[in-house]
Structure 1
Amino acid sequence: VAAGGVARAALAMLAPQVKITGYMVQMGPRQIDRSRLDLAEVERNPFWCPDATAAADWAAYLDELRLSHNSVGAVIEVVAQGVPPGLGAPVYGKLDSDLASAMMSINAVKAVEIGEGMAAASLTGVENADEIRMGNDGPMYLSNHAGGILGGISTGQDVVVRFAVKPTSSILTPRRTITMSGEETELITKGRHDPCVGIRAVPVAEAMMACVILDHLLLDRGQTGGLRGRIG
Protein backbone atom coordinates (compact mmCIF):
# COMPACT_ATOMS: atom_id res chain seq x y z
CA VAL A 1 0.00 0.00 0.00
CA ALA A 2 2.92 2.33 0.72
CA ALA A 3 4.37 1.61 -2.72
CA GLY A 4 0.94 2.28 -4.18
CA GLY A 5 0.94 5.70 -2.55
CA VAL A 6 4.24 6.51 -4.24
CA ALA A 7 2.91 5.18 -7.55
CA ARG A 8 -0.21 7.34 -7.26
CA ALA A 9 1.94 10.41 -6.63
CA ALA A 10 4.00 9.64 -9.74
CA LEU A 11 0.85 9.02 -11.77
CA ALA A 12 -0.50 12.38 -10.65
CA MET A 13 2.51 14.00 -12.34
CA LEU A 14 2.89 11.77 -15.39
CA ALA A 15 -0.75 10.98 -16.17
CA PRO A 16 -3.07 13.10 -14.00
CA GLN A 17 -6.11 11.85 -15.91
CA VAL A 18 -5.69 8.35 -14.46
CA LYS A 19 -8.07 7.63 -11.59
CA ILE A 20 -8.05 4.32 -9.72
CA THR A 21 -11.02 3.14 -7.64
CA GLY A 22 -11.50 -0.18 -5.86
CA TYR A 23 -14.65 -1.52 -4.26
CA MET A 24 -16.31 -4.73 -3.12
CA VAL A 25 -19.00 -6.12 -5.42
CA GLN A 26 -19.80 -9.37 -3.61
CA MET A 27 -19.68 -10.73 -0.07
CA GLY A 28 -20.25 -14.46 -0.02
CA PRO A 29 -23.31 -15.12 -2.22
CA ARG A 30 -24.61 -11.56 -1.83
CA GLN A 31 -23.83 -9.29 -4.77
CA ILE A 32 -24.41 -5.60 -5.36
CA ASP A 33 -27.11 -4.40 -7.74
CA ARG A 34 -25.11 -2.77 -10.53
CA SER A 35 -28.06 -0.58 -11.44
CA ARG A 36 -27.45 1.13 -8.08
CA LEU A 37 -23.65 1.34 -8.44
CA ASP A 38 -22.48 4.72 -7.17
CA LEU A 39 -18.75 5.23 -6.62
CA ALA A 40 -19.51 8.10 -4.26
CA GLU A 41 -20.90 5.47 -1.84
CA VAL A 42 -17.56 3.66 -1.57
CA GLU A 43 -16.21 6.06 1.07
CA ARG A 44 -19.46 6.11 3.05
CA ASN A 45 -19.43 2.58 4.47
CA PRO A 46 -16.84 0.21 5.98
CA PHE A 47 -17.15 -2.32 3.14
CA TRP A 48 -15.97 -0.10 0.26
CA CYS A 49 -19.36 -0.92 -1.26
CA PRO A 50 -20.75 1.20 -4.14
CA ASP A 51 -24.33 0.11 -3.36
CA ALA A 52 -25.80 1.60 -0.16
CA THR A 53 -28.56 -1.02 0.02
CA ALA A 54 -26.10 -3.90 -0.31
CA ALA A 55 -23.82 -2.34 2.32
CA ALA A 56 -26.63 -2.37 4.88
CA ASP A 57 -27.41 -6.00 4.02
CA TRP A 58 -23.75 -6.97 4.32
CA ALA A 59 -23.49 -5.42 7.77
CA ALA A 60 -26.27 -7.67 9.08
CA TYR A 61 -24.88 -10.68 7.21
CA LEU A 62 -21.41 -10.17 8.65
CA ASP A 63 -22.80 -10.03 12.19
CA GLU A 64 -24.53 -13.36 11.60
CA LEU A 65 -21.27 -14.92 10.41
CA ARG A 66 -19.31 -13.53 13.33
CA LEU A 67 -21.80 -14.86 15.88
CA SER A 68 -21.78 -18.28 14.22
CA HIS A 69 -17.95 -18.40 14.33
CA ASN A 70 -17.73 -18.49 10.56
CA SER A 71 -16.22 -16.46 7.72
CA VAL A 72 -16.96 -15.66 4.09
CA GLY A 73 -15.16 -14.73 0.87
CA ALA A 74 -15.56 -11.69 -1.33
CA VAL A 75 -15.12 -10.31 -4.83
CA ILE A 76 -13.24 -7.05 -5.30
CA GLU A 77 -13.32 -4.91 -8.43
CA VAL A 78 -10.76 -2.21 -9.22
CA VAL A 79 -11.11 0.21 -12.13
CA ALA A 80 -8.48 2.47 -13.67
CA GLN A 81 -10.03 5.31 -15.64
CA GLY A 82 -8.07 7.48 -18.05
CA VAL A 83 -5.44 4.87 -18.93
CA PRO A 84 -3.99 5.84 -22.33
CA PRO A 85 -4.13 3.36 -25.22
CA GLY A 86 -1.04 1.45 -26.25
CA LEU A 87 0.33 0.35 -22.87
CA GLY A 88 1.48 -3.25 -22.69
CA ALA A 89 2.72 -5.76 -25.27
CA PRO A 90 1.18 -8.57 -27.36
CA VAL A 91 3.25 -11.44 -25.90
CA TYR A 92 5.75 -10.70 -23.13
CA GLY A 93 4.91 -7.87 -20.75
CA LYS A 94 1.18 -7.97 -21.45
CA LEU A 95 -0.71 -5.43 -19.37
CA ASP A 96 -3.38 -7.92 -18.32
CA SER A 97 -0.76 -10.55 -17.47
CA ASP A 98 1.07 -8.13 -15.18
CA LEU A 99 -2.18 -7.02 -13.55
CA ALA A 100 -3.24 -10.63 -12.95
CA SER A 101 0.17 -11.42 -11.45
CA ALA A 102 -0.02 -8.40 -9.16
CA MET A 103 -3.53 -9.20 -7.94
CA MET A 104 -2.73 -12.88 -7.42
CA SER A 105 0.17 -11.87 -5.18
CA ILE A 106 -2.31 -10.40 -2.68
CA ASN A 107 -2.87 -12.75 0.26
CA ALA A 108 -5.98 -14.96 0.05
CA VAL A 109 -6.70 -14.14 -3.63
CA LYS A 110 -7.73 -17.30 -5.53
CA ALA A 111 -8.89 -16.02 -8.94
CA VAL A 112 -8.49 -12.96 -11.17
CA GLU A 113 -10.45 -11.84 -14.21
CA ILE A 114 -10.27 -8.93 -16.65
CA GLY A 115 -13.42 -7.32 -18.06
CA GLU A 116 -16.13 -9.94 -18.49
CA GLY A 117 -13.67 -12.57 -17.32
CA MET A 118 -15.22 -16.01 -16.85
CA ALA A 119 -18.59 -14.66 -17.98
CA ALA A 120 -17.15 -14.20 -21.49
CA ALA A 121 -17.29 -17.98 -21.92
CA SER A 122 -21.09 -17.84 -22.01
CA LEU A 123 -21.23 -15.02 -24.57
CA THR A 124 -21.27 -15.29 -28.35
CA GLY A 125 -18.77 -13.48 -30.52
CA VAL A 126 -21.43 -10.95 -31.44
CA GLU A 127 -22.24 -10.27 -27.79
CA ASN A 128 -18.64 -10.06 -26.63
CA ALA A 129 -17.26 -7.83 -29.39
CA ASP A 130 -16.60 -4.22 -28.39
CA GLU A 131 -17.71 -2.30 -31.47
CA ILE A 132 -16.19 1.06 -32.39
CA ARG A 133 -17.93 4.07 -33.91
CA MET A 134 -16.93 7.65 -34.62
CA GLY A 135 -18.09 10.05 -31.92
CA ASN A 136 -17.91 13.82 -31.64
CA ASP A 137 -14.40 13.58 -30.15
CA GLY A 138 -13.13 10.74 -32.32
CA PRO A 139 -13.40 6.92 -32.19
CA MET A 140 -15.50 5.53 -29.33
CA TYR A 141 -16.30 2.05 -28.08
CA LEU A 142 -19.92 0.97 -27.65
CA SER A 143 -19.10 -1.48 -24.83
CA ASN A 144 -16.19 -2.65 -22.68
CA HIS A 145 -16.42 -6.41 -22.40
CA ALA A 146 -12.62 -6.63 -22.79
CA GLY A 147 -12.05 -4.59 -19.65
CA GLY A 148 -9.91 -2.02 -21.41
CA ILE A 149 -7.27 -4.48 -22.63
CA LEU A 150 -7.07 -6.33 -25.96
CA GLY A 151 -4.14 -8.51 -26.97
CA GLY A 152 -2.27 -7.47 -23.85
CA ILE A 153 -2.46 -3.77 -24.78
CA SER A 154 -4.65 -1.05 -23.28
CA THR A 155 -7.44 0.26 -25.53
CA GLY A 156 -8.01 3.60 -23.82
CA GLN A 157 -11.15 2.37 -22.11
CA ASP A 158 -11.47 1.80 -18.36
CA VAL A 159 -9.21 -1.03 -17.21
CA VAL A 160 -11.42 -3.35 -15.14
CA VAL A 161 -9.94 -6.08 -12.92
CA ARG A 162 -11.88 -8.32 -10.57
CA PHE A 163 -10.64 -10.94 -8.12
CA ALA A 164 -11.97 -13.43 -5.59
CA VAL A 165 -10.77 -13.56 -1.99
CA LYS A 166 -11.23 -16.82 -0.09
CA PRO A 167 -12.97 -16.97 3.31
CA THR A 168 -10.73 -16.38 6.31
CA SER A 169 -9.28 -19.78 7.24
CA SER A 170 -8.81 -18.91 10.92
CA ILE A 171 -12.28 -19.50 12.38
CA LEU A 172 -13.53 -20.52 15.82
CA THR A 173 -15.51 -23.49 14.48
CA PRO A 174 -13.56 -26.75 15.03
CA ARG A 175 -12.01 -28.18 11.85
CA ARG A 176 -10.64 -31.69 11.41
CA THR A 177 -6.92 -32.05 10.70
CA ILE A 178 -3.96 -34.28 11.56
CA THR A 179 -0.88 -33.83 13.73
CA MET A 180 2.71 -34.07 12.49
CA SER A 181 2.71 -37.70 13.62
CA GLY A 182 -0.38 -38.45 11.52
CA GLU A 183 -2.95 -38.57 14.31
CA GLU A 184 -6.41 -37.16 13.65
CA THR A 185 -7.40 -34.15 15.75
CA GLU A 186 -9.44 -30.94 15.68
CA LEU A 187 -8.10 -27.44 15.20
CA ILE A 188 -9.73 -24.41 16.81
CA THR A 189 -8.32 -20.97 16.09
CA LYS A 190 -8.43 -18.64 19.07
CA GLY A 191 -8.30 -14.86 19.15
CA ARG A 192 -9.78 -12.12 17.02
CA HIS A 193 -10.07 -12.70 13.27
CA ASP A 194 -11.84 -11.05 10.33
CA PRO A 195 -15.09 -12.73 9.26
CA CYS A 196 -14.42 -11.27 5.78
CA VAL A 197 -10.78 -10.54 5.00
CA GLY A 198 -11.77 -9.31 1.54
CA ILE A 199 -12.62 -5.93 3.04
CA ARG A 200 -8.93 -5.34 3.70
CA ALA A 201 -8.02 -6.17 0.10
CA VAL A 202 -9.60 -3.09 -1.49
CA PRO A 203 -6.82 -0.54 -0.78
CA VAL A 204 -4.22 -3.20 -1.58
CA ALA A 205 -5.86 -3.78 -4.97
CA GLU A 206 -5.81 -0.06 -5.72
CA ALA A 207 -2.12 0.04 -4.82
CA MET A 208 -1.32 -2.91 -7.08
CA MET A 209 -3.21 -1.33 -9.97
CA ALA A 210 -1.31 1.94 -9.49
CA CYS A 211 2.07 0.18 -9.45
CA VAL A 212 1.37 -1.80 -12.63
CA ILE A 213 -0.06 1.15 -14.56
CA LEU A 214 2.92 3.29 -13.56
CA ASP A 215 5.35 0.54 -14.61
CA HIS A 216 3.79 0.39 -18.06
CA LEU A 217 3.69 4.16 -18.44
CA LEU A 218 7.41 4.33 -17.67
CA LEU A 219 8.15 1.42 -20.00
CA ASP A 220 6.21 3.20 -22.72
CA ARG A 221 8.14 6.41 -22.18
CA GLY A 222 11.43 4.53 -22.28
CA GLN A 223 10.49 2.72 -25.49
CA THR A 224 8.86 5.58 -27.39
CA GLY A 225 10.36 8.67 -25.78
CA GLY A 226 6.86 10.04 -25.30
CA LEU A 227 6.50 10.43 -29.08
CA ARG A 228 2.85 9.48 -28.84
CA GLY A 229 2.25 12.47 -26.61
CA ARG A 230 0.98 10.53 -23.63
CA ILE A 231 3.52 11.42 -20.97
CA GLY A 232 6.44 13.85 -20.70
Structure 2
Amino acid sequence: MVLGPTYTVEGVSHTPADVMNYDAVGYAGVAADAGAGVSSSHRTLPLPSYVEVTSLDSGKTILVRVERRGPMTNARLVDLSPAAAAQLGLTGGKAPVRVRRVNPPEQERALLRMGQAAPARMDTPQSLLGVLRRKLDGPGLPAPQPAATPVPVPTPTPSTAPVAKPAPKGKIPRIAPEAPPAVERITPPPAMPANALVVQVGAFGDRARADAVAKRSGGQVSKAGSVWRVRMGPFASQAEAQAALAKAKAAGYSEARIQRAN
Protein backbone atom coordinates (compact mmCIF):
# COMPACT_ATOMS: atom_id res chain seq x y z
CA MET A 1 0.00 0.00 0.00
CA VAL A 2 1.40 3.40 -1.05
CA LEU A 3 0.43 6.84 0.28
CA GLY A 4 3.09 9.33 -0.78
CA PRO A 5 3.87 12.95 0.15
CA THR A 6 1.60 16.00 0.13
CA TYR A 7 1.26 17.59 -3.32
CA THR A 8 -0.60 20.52 -4.87
CA VAL A 9 -3.32 20.59 -7.56
CA GLU A 10 -4.47 23.98 -8.86
CA GLY A 11 -3.23 25.72 -5.71
CA VAL A 12 -4.86 23.22 -3.29
CA SER A 13 -2.73 20.88 -1.15
CA HIS A 14 -3.71 17.20 -0.92
CA THR A 15 -2.23 14.83 1.69
CA PRO A 16 -2.70 11.08 1.02
CA ALA A 17 -4.12 9.23 4.05
CA ASP A 18 -5.39 5.76 4.95
CA VAL A 19 -9.03 6.72 5.71
CA MET A 20 -11.11 3.55 6.14
CA ASN A 21 -14.53 5.25 6.31
CA TYR A 22 -13.99 7.57 3.32
CA ASP A 23 -17.37 8.56 1.81
CA ALA A 24 -17.75 11.59 -0.49
CA VAL A 25 -19.80 12.94 -3.39
CA GLY A 26 -18.43 14.78 -6.40
CA TYR A 27 -17.95 14.38 -10.12
CA ALA A 28 -16.34 11.58 -12.12
CA GLY A 29 -14.62 11.88 -15.48
CA VAL A 30 -13.20 9.31 -17.88
CA ALA A 31 -9.44 8.85 -18.31
CA ALA A 32 -8.92 7.52 -21.84
CA ASP A 33 -5.30 6.50 -21.11
CA ALA A 34 -6.09 4.49 -17.94
CA GLY A 35 -5.74 1.02 -19.51
CA ALA A 36 -8.20 -1.87 -19.79
CA GLY A 37 -9.03 -2.61 -16.14
CA VAL A 38 -11.92 -1.43 -13.95
CA SER A 39 -9.91 1.20 -12.09
CA SER A 40 -9.84 4.85 -11.05
CA SER A 41 -7.61 7.64 -9.84
CA HIS A 42 -7.95 9.42 -6.49
CA ARG A 43 -5.96 12.22 -4.91
CA THR A 44 -5.61 10.90 -1.33
CA LEU A 45 -6.72 7.26 -0.91
CA PRO A 46 -4.02 4.55 -0.61
CA LEU A 47 -2.75 2.85 -3.77
CA PRO A 48 -4.22 0.36 -4.23
CA SER A 49 -7.56 0.54 -2.41
CA TYR A 50 -11.15 -0.36 -3.31
CA VAL A 51 -14.20 1.89 -3.59
CA GLU A 52 -17.85 1.58 -4.56
CA VAL A 53 -18.75 4.23 -7.13
CA THR A 54 -22.47 5.09 -7.42
CA SER A 55 -23.98 7.10 -10.27
CA LEU A 56 -26.23 9.75 -8.69
CA ASP A 57 -28.21 9.84 -11.96
CA SER A 58 -29.11 6.14 -12.23
CA GLY A 59 -28.31 4.69 -8.78
CA LYS A 60 -26.07 2.01 -10.33
CA THR A 61 -23.10 1.02 -8.13
CA ILE A 62 -19.88 -0.77 -9.14
CA LEU A 63 -16.67 -1.87 -7.40
CA VAL A 64 -13.50 -0.10 -8.61
CA ARG A 65 -9.78 -0.48 -7.81
CA VAL A 66 -7.96 2.81 -7.05
CA GLU A 67 -4.59 2.56 -8.81
CA ARG A 68 -3.47 6.10 -9.72
CA ARG A 69 -3.07 9.59 -8.29
CA GLY A 70 -5.43 12.19 -9.76
CA PRO A 71 -7.44 13.75 -11.21
CA MET A 72 -5.07 16.67 -11.65
CA THR A 73 -7.99 19.06 -11.44
CA ASN A 74 -10.11 19.89 -8.41
CA ALA A 75 -13.26 19.97 -10.52
CA ARG A 76 -13.52 16.15 -10.37
CA LEU A 77 -13.41 13.70 -7.47
CA VAL A 78 -12.22 10.68 -9.51
CA ASP A 79 -11.31 9.74 -13.07
CA LEU A 80 -12.58 6.31 -14.13
CA SER A 81 -10.96 4.00 -16.64
CA PRO A 82 -13.00 3.43 -19.84
CA ALA A 83 -13.99 -0.06 -18.59
CA ALA A 84 -15.22 1.30 -15.25
CA ALA A 85 -17.11 4.14 -16.95
CA ALA A 86 -18.78 1.67 -19.31
CA GLN A 87 -19.84 -0.61 -16.42
CA LEU A 88 -21.29 2.38 -14.56
CA GLY A 89 -23.04 3.67 -17.69
CA LEU A 90 -21.09 6.94 -18.08
CA THR A 91 -20.66 8.00 -21.70
CA GLY A 92 -18.37 11.03 -21.39
CA GLY A 93 -17.91 14.43 -19.84
CA LYS A 94 -18.40 14.39 -16.10
CA ALA A 95 -21.19 12.88 -14.00
CA PRO A 96 -22.22 13.15 -10.33
CA VAL A 97 -21.11 10.17 -8.24
CA ARG A 98 -20.70 8.90 -4.69
CA VAL A 99 -17.32 7.32 -3.81
CA ARG A 100 -17.23 5.10 -0.71
CA ARG A 101 -14.23 3.05 0.43
CA VAL A 102 -15.03 -0.63 1.06
CA ASN A 103 -13.26 -3.86 1.99
CA PRO A 104 -14.42 -6.39 -0.64
CA PRO A 105 -13.76 -10.15 -0.47
CA GLU A 106 -10.55 -11.52 -1.99
CA GLN A 107 -12.42 -13.09 -4.94
CA GLU A 108 -13.60 -9.64 -6.08
CA ARG A 109 -10.16 -8.09 -5.50
CA ALA A 110 -8.63 -10.81 -7.69
CA LEU A 111 -11.09 -10.09 -10.53
CA LEU A 112 -10.16 -6.39 -10.51
CA ARG A 113 -6.41 -7.17 -10.37
CA MET A 114 -6.85 -9.31 -13.50
CA GLY A 115 -8.63 -6.45 -15.31
CA GLN A 116 -12.11 -7.98 -15.00
CA ALA A 117 -15.25 -6.43 -13.56
CA ALA A 118 -16.61 -7.46 -10.15
CA PRO A 119 -20.37 -8.14 -9.87
CA ALA A 120 -22.44 -4.94 -9.77
CA ARG A 121 -23.96 -3.94 -6.44
CA MET A 122 -27.66 -3.44 -5.74
CA ASP A 123 -28.94 -0.13 -7.12
CA THR A 124 -29.17 2.73 -4.62
CA PRO A 125 -32.83 3.71 -3.90
CA GLN A 126 -34.07 7.05 -5.24
CA SER A 127 -34.73 8.34 -1.72
CA LEU A 128 -31.03 8.05 -0.83
CA LEU A 129 -29.96 9.44 -4.22
CA GLY A 130 -31.98 12.56 -3.48
CA VAL A 131 -30.12 13.06 -0.18
CA LEU A 132 -26.75 12.57 -1.88
CA ARG A 133 -27.57 14.96 -4.75
CA ARG A 134 -28.34 17.71 -2.26
CA LYS A 135 -24.76 17.46 -0.98
CA LEU A 136 -23.42 18.51 -4.37
CA ASP A 137 -22.97 22.17 -5.20
CA GLY A 138 -22.20 22.68 -8.84
CA PRO A 139 -23.45 22.48 -12.44
CA GLY A 140 -24.96 19.37 -13.92
CA LEU A 141 -27.84 19.07 -11.46
CA PRO A 142 -31.43 20.19 -12.00
CA ALA A 143 -31.89 23.89 -11.33
CA PRO A 144 -34.13 24.76 -8.40
CA GLN A 145 -37.68 25.52 -9.38
CA PRO A 146 -38.99 29.06 -8.69
CA ALA A 147 -41.28 29.38 -5.73
CA ALA A 148 -44.96 29.62 -6.48
CA THR A 149 -46.41 33.13 -6.35
CA PRO A 150 -48.83 33.36 -3.43
CA VAL A 151 -52.43 34.07 -4.41
CA PRO A 152 -53.92 36.98 -2.38
CA VAL A 153 -56.97 36.12 -0.34
CA PRO A 154 -59.70 38.80 -0.60
CA THR A 155 -60.65 40.46 2.69
CA PRO A 156 -64.42 40.84 3.24
CA THR A 157 -65.59 44.46 3.23
CA PRO A 158 -68.02 45.73 5.87
CA SER A 159 -70.82 45.71 3.32
CA THR A 160 -70.33 42.04 2.37
CA ALA A 161 -69.01 40.53 5.60
CA PRO A 162 -71.64 38.43 7.42
CA VAL A 163 -72.91 39.92 10.67
CA ALA A 164 -73.63 37.56 13.55
CA LYS A 165 -77.07 37.98 15.07
CA PRO A 166 -77.10 38.38 18.85
CA ALA A 167 -78.89 35.67 20.78
CA PRO A 168 -82.25 36.69 22.33
CA LYS A 169 -82.03 37.69 25.98
CA GLY A 170 -82.56 34.86 28.41
CA LYS A 171 -81.66 32.15 25.88
CA ILE A 172 -78.36 30.29 25.63
CA PRO A 173 -77.19 29.90 22.04
CA ARG A 174 -76.84 26.32 20.87
CA ILE A 175 -73.33 25.18 20.04
CA ALA A 176 -72.92 22.49 17.43
CA PRO A 177 -71.09 19.44 18.78
CA GLU A 178 -67.49 18.98 17.62
CA ALA A 179 -66.85 16.39 14.97
CA PRO A 180 -65.09 13.27 16.30
CA PRO A 181 -61.35 13.19 15.61
CA ALA A 182 -60.31 11.52 12.38
CA VAL A 183 -59.04 7.97 12.77
CA GLU A 184 -55.62 7.37 11.23
CA ARG A 185 -55.79 4.76 8.52
CA ILE A 186 -52.84 2.41 8.39
CA THR A 187 -52.08 0.83 5.05
CA PRO A 188 -50.91 -2.74 5.65
CA PRO A 189 -47.55 -3.63 4.07
CA PRO A 190 -47.57 -5.93 1.03
CA ALA A 191 -47.56 -9.66 1.70
CA MET A 192 -44.05 -11.09 1.93
CA PRO A 193 -43.17 -14.28 0.02
CA ALA A 194 -42.27 -17.33 2.09
CA ASN A 195 -38.61 -17.51 3.21
CA ALA A 196 -37.95 -13.96 1.91
CA LEU A 197 -35.40 -11.75 3.70
CA VAL A 198 -35.77 -8.13 4.77
CA VAL A 199 -33.44 -5.54 6.23
CA GLN A 200 -34.92 -3.92 9.33
CA VAL A 201 -33.55 -0.38 9.35
CA GLY A 202 -35.00 0.36 12.79
CA ALA A 203 -38.01 0.25 15.14
CA PHE A 204 -39.54 3.46 16.48
CA GLY A 205 -42.20 4.40 19.00
CA ASP A 206 -43.27 7.40 16.89
CA ARG A 207 -45.00 6.96 13.51
CA ALA A 208 -43.75 10.29 12.15
CA ARG A 209 -40.13 9.32 12.89
CA ALA A 210 -40.64 5.93 11.18
CA ASP A 211 -42.14 7.63 8.10
CA ALA A 212 -39.17 9.99 7.85
CA VAL A 213 -36.65 7.11 8.06
CA ALA A 214 -38.62 5.08 5.50
CA LYS A 215 -38.57 8.01 3.08
CA ARG A 216 -34.80 8.41 3.40
CA SER A 217 -33.96 4.70 3.20
CA GLY A 218 -36.55 3.59 0.63
CA GLY A 219 -38.11 1.19 3.14
CA GLN A 220 -41.68 0.46 4.24
CA VAL A 221 -43.41 1.10 7.55
CA SER A 222 -45.33 -1.61 9.39
CA LYS A 223 -46.68 -1.81 12.95
CA ALA A 224 -45.55 -4.50 15.37
CA GLY A 225 -47.15 -4.21 18.80
CA SER A 226 -46.42 -0.74 20.14
CA VAL A 227 -43.59 0.10 17.70
CA TRP A 228 -43.30 1.03 14.04
CA ARG A 229 -40.78 -0.97 12.02
CA VAL A 230 -38.98 0.32 8.91
CA ARG A 231 -37.97 -2.51 6.58
CA MET A 232 -36.29 -2.74 3.16
CA GLY A 233 -37.13 -5.62 0.86
CA PRO A 234 -38.18 -8.36 0.53
CA PHE A 235 -35.08 -9.99 -1.00
CA ALA A 236 -34.92 -13.45 -2.50
CA SER A 237 -31.25 -14.12 -1.71
CA GLN A 238 -28.77 -13.52 1.10
CA ALA A 239 -26.50 -11.59 -1.30
CA GLU A 240 -29.24 -9.07 -2.10
CA ALA A 241 -30.08 -8.65 1.58
CA GLN A 242 -26.38 -8.15 2.47
CA ALA A 243 -26.05 -5.46 -0.21
CA ALA A 244 -29.13 -3.65 1.14
CA LEU A 245 -27.78 -3.96 4.70
CA ALA A 246 -24.50 -2.37 3.63
CA LYS A 247 -26.36 0.57 2.07
CA ALA A 248 -28.50 1.07 5.16
CA LYS A 249 -25.43 1.15 7.42
CA ALA A 250 -23.63 3.47 5.01
CA ALA A 251 -26.60 5.84 5.26
CA GLY A 252 -26.08 6.00 9.04
CA TYR A 253 -28.43 3.27 10.32
CA SER A 254 -25.84 1.28 12.27
CA GLU A 255 -28.47 -0.87 14.04
CA ALA A 256 -29.89 -2.25 10.76
CA ARG A 257 -30.00 -6.06 10.50
CA ILE A 258 -31.26 -8.87 8.27
CA GLN A 259 -34.41 -10.76 9.32
CA ARG A 260 -36.83 -13.27 7.92
CA ALA A 261 -39.84 -11.51 6.41
CA ASN A 262 -42.39 -13.74 8.21
**Relative contact order (C-alpha < 8 Å, sep 6+): which is higher?**
1
TM-score, normalised with respect to structure 1: 0.21
